[in-house]
Amino acid sequence: MTRTVLVTGARAAAALDIARDFAAAGYRTFCADSASARISRWSRRTGTFLSYPAPRADAAAFAKRICELVDELSVDLIVPTCEEAFHLAAPALAPRLADRLFQPPLATLRDLHDKYRFARLAAGFGLPVPETHLLESEADVARFADGSAGWVFKPCFSRFGEAALVGPAAGELRRVEPAPGRGWVAQRRVPGGEACFYAVARDGELRAFAAYRSDWRLGGGASFGFEPLDAAKAVALREIAAVLAGRLSLTGQFACDAIFDANGQPWLIECNPRATSGVHFLAGEGRLAAAIDGSGEDCLGGDGRPRHLLPAMLSFGLGVALRRGDLGGWIAALREGRDVIGQPGDRLPALGAFADGLGFAFRGMLRGASASAMTVADIAWDGEDLP
């Protein structure tokens, strides 16, 4: 009997790839979002697109609509991809979705998403984490004024790195404005190369994994070009992922950012308990879907070829290349990498991504915010209580 999957957060390129992968695996596939999500809605391979209310604007309406979709479509599996994941784990929905929702419970999501909680959790498991302090007042911040260049400051709940201050001068610390319930962290700065991993676990066992790096990103940190990490570093991060999955008995998706220091030691920086760009190295033939639903073999690593988001690579990437005088590198990245949005027989998602991007940028201009911030404005979760 054909199973049915609902992929939420359809605005994300990761959601597009995940939905395509489930379709390739023979699933009856649906995508849904509170945004227009043309990137997935215009695809020929992601099934019917459905809408739900924005959870931050109306949590009750969001919960009601999700329950309706589950019942109307006879959904067997829900795979979140963006920060709607936290709202799907809300107490009001937990009893209805527990056996269908592919993610950990809200308490675990909080521990992974909160940068201070995650640092303490990982350190408790014996994993390498930079020295990390919680900042809840001006007095807490003032303690770091003399040596601020040796620290990284960021809100406990943040995304895209937009608010982070890396090695700031003492005068810049005025931008760090913590308060009880809205804390920041001060994390010892580790010089080195950044890397990321994406992983899938079931019952504490690692089922899918990809490690990668990016030289192509927006100013805040959102990436649009990705290269597989070299084998030795990938193995080191895979061991870390296995520890996290096992110690937390995880079922779901999770991803971490790390820095490798001059000695090749990886240091865990933060965790995103949702889909990230590592998906693009694993999706395409149904293998990732089989790893998620537990029906197939492990999906560990891709073909070793770089990936990129072509609309962003053509627009933002050119600007990045010109600023750093690396036009040749940009051309090489386009030539050697594979676009994960537009694919043979399914090109319209690339146009959809471009249209989505314009929409987020326009709304950001109206609100004085970045386009990246607008991509999560209606779904972001900053640790507040959920109904």
Instruction: Give me the helices (H) in 125-250, please.
Output: 138-142, 231-248
% of the chain at pLDDT higher than 90:
90
| pLDDT at residue 47 in the model | 95
Average pLDDT of every residue of the chain: 95
Q: How far apart are CA 40 and CA 30, in angstroms?
A: 10
Quote the pTM value.
Answer: 0.95
Name the strand (E) or helix (H) holding 190: none
> Residues 225-263, buried b or exposed e (16+ Cβ, 10 A)?
bbbbbeeebbebbbebbbebbeebebbbbbbbbbbbeee
**Predicted confidence band of residue 363 (pLDDT cuts 50, 70, 90):** very high
Task: Please give the distance of CA 128 from its chain centroid, rounded to a whole number.
Answer: 21
Nearest residue to 164 (alpha-carbon basis) of 149, 179, 150, 175: 175
Show the tokens assigned to 138.
């001006």
pLDDT(135) > 70: yes
| pLDDT at residue 296 in the model | 84
List pLDDT tens digits, range 92-121. Answer: 999 999 899 999 999 999 999 999 999 999
List pLDDT tens digits, range 186-236. Answer: 999 999 999 999 999 999 999 999 999 998 987 656 889 999 999 999 999
| pLDDT at residue 240 in the model | 98
List pLDDT tens digits, range 150-195. Answer: 999 999 999 888 789 999 999 999 999 998 889 999 999 999 999 9
pLDDT(144) > 90: yes
Nearest residue to 201 (alpha-carbon basis) of 272, 257, 271, 250: 250
